[in-house]
Amino acid sequence: MRAHSLVAFAALAAVGFTARDGAASPEDLFGFGSRSAAMGATGPASAEGYEAVFGSPALLAETRQKTITLGLSVARHLLHADVGGNSTTLATDEMKMIHIGAVLPLPLGGVLKDRITFGLGFLDPAKFLVRGKILYPERPQYPIVAPRVQSLAIILGLGFKIGSRLYVGVGYEALASVIGQIVLSQDPTGHTGARSDDQVVAAYAPLASIAVDLSEHIRLGLTFRGELIGRFAINIRAQDLGINLPDFNVAGVAQYDPAQIAAEVRWASVTGGDAQSTTLDGWKIALGALARRWSRYPGAVERTVIANVDFSPPPTNAHDTISPRIGIERAFPLSELAGMRLRAGYIFEPTPLPTQNGAVQTDSTHTSTTNLLDSNRHVLTAGVGLLLGDRLPLQIDVFSQLHVLTSRENAKYAEVPSNAPGAPSITAKGTIVVVGMTVGVRF
């Protein structure tokens, strides 16, 4: 095999190993847990059970029973790129995620009795630990909503109850990343071979939250999540091949969660009692907003040849966003042994990406335009929960979401060549459907 062909093959193999371009995690895109996902991805003042490890670690302290939860969710994307009136559906892999959650109240005595709770959550892709895929920026693609669901995520948290009305919590998220190298060389017989060394490493981001009960009915909550970047980086080196080749850098961002702050107020019509009680009868309404620092989004790809300082991937020019959301829950008893929870919610997700008007990048060899598509999203959520009594201490929750990407036209500038991808205009629109179910056990 010729050396040039082998280098190309190795580069493609490295890309295939890590397979999908990406921007952020499923918990940031859909919410964490069936209850939160059904209630408009709310949480800083309203999270319950293991879901609080992401929504508000502080509220873990409200759970005083050991619980373990297992579940599965599936998301299907139907994303369109309309170029000159010709509609194309962009192929997007179906997302399947395994959910695992647990809550453990710490059995401490004295002043710490019933005040500290530990929680953890896992989101595990059904097929991969982490995936990433390098696409040319001029190829029509949805870097924000399409590929953000294929990486193993682990979330840990501690919740502390201080006094009777104040809760604080800390934790962290860990996300899988891939680093490694492929070395091409010739053995003493003149045969060319490849040796690979790849490993999965973790990226971390802090979590912190505070919640305070202003009255028996009203609670305020604030949650901070740090920037979380899951990278893939495969360095391809050619040595002793008889030709001088630079190192190839197959690298980029598999997933990206921007730094964010979520604020929320929750009103509950009933006071006292346990959220896990089958006799609970009343309403809970959560209203909040999530601010994300998308302006630091580095984009999905890096330079293929690090030494080529004259070329860099085109900037994304993403801007910060604020996403309002609302969640509603109606709890009522079915009998002495079972209680029902009906849930609904709404999220407005403004796009962080500017319109792709075709900012032209020119050098001595080519002219290219970008087609990083996105648009504002309206998200409708709903779900139902069945809570059984202590004789059979189970909680079964299901949820569904419909994401509607509004139609947005990206009209190219006059300088963009008429045969460039996406010219003379490209329109972004589509839908995402998500369904999921979890089963929890109290003991």
Q: How many domains does the structure of the chain reveal?
A: 1
> What's the CATH code of the domain at 348?
2.40.160.60
Helix (H) or strand (E) holding 418: none
pLDDT for the residue numbered 68: 97
For residue 402, CA distances in Å to 22, 76, 87, 303 come to 21, 10, 21, 36
Range of the domain at 130: 3-306+315-442
Q: How far is CA 365 from the centre of its chain?
A: 37
Q: How far apart are CA 60 and CA 58, in angstroms?
A: 5
Q: What is the pLDDT of residues 361-415, one digit of tens each?
A: 554 444 567 888 999 999 999 999 999 988 899 999 999 999 999 999 999 888 8
Residue for token pair 């907003």: 289
pLDDT for the residue numbered 8: 38
pLDDT for the residue numbered 270: 82
Q: What is the pLDDT of residues 306-363, one digit of tens each?
A: 666 666 667 788 999 999 999 999 999 998 889 999 999 999 999 999 998 876 555 4
pTM tops 0.85, yes or no = yes
Contact 237, 184 (CB under 8 A): yes
pLDDT for the residue numbered 420: 84
pLDDT for the residue numbered 103: 97
Q: Residue ranges of the chain with pLDDT lower than 70?
A: 1-24, 127-134, 147-151, 240-242, 272-273, 303, 305-313, 359-368
Helix (H) or strand (E) holding 5: helix 3-18
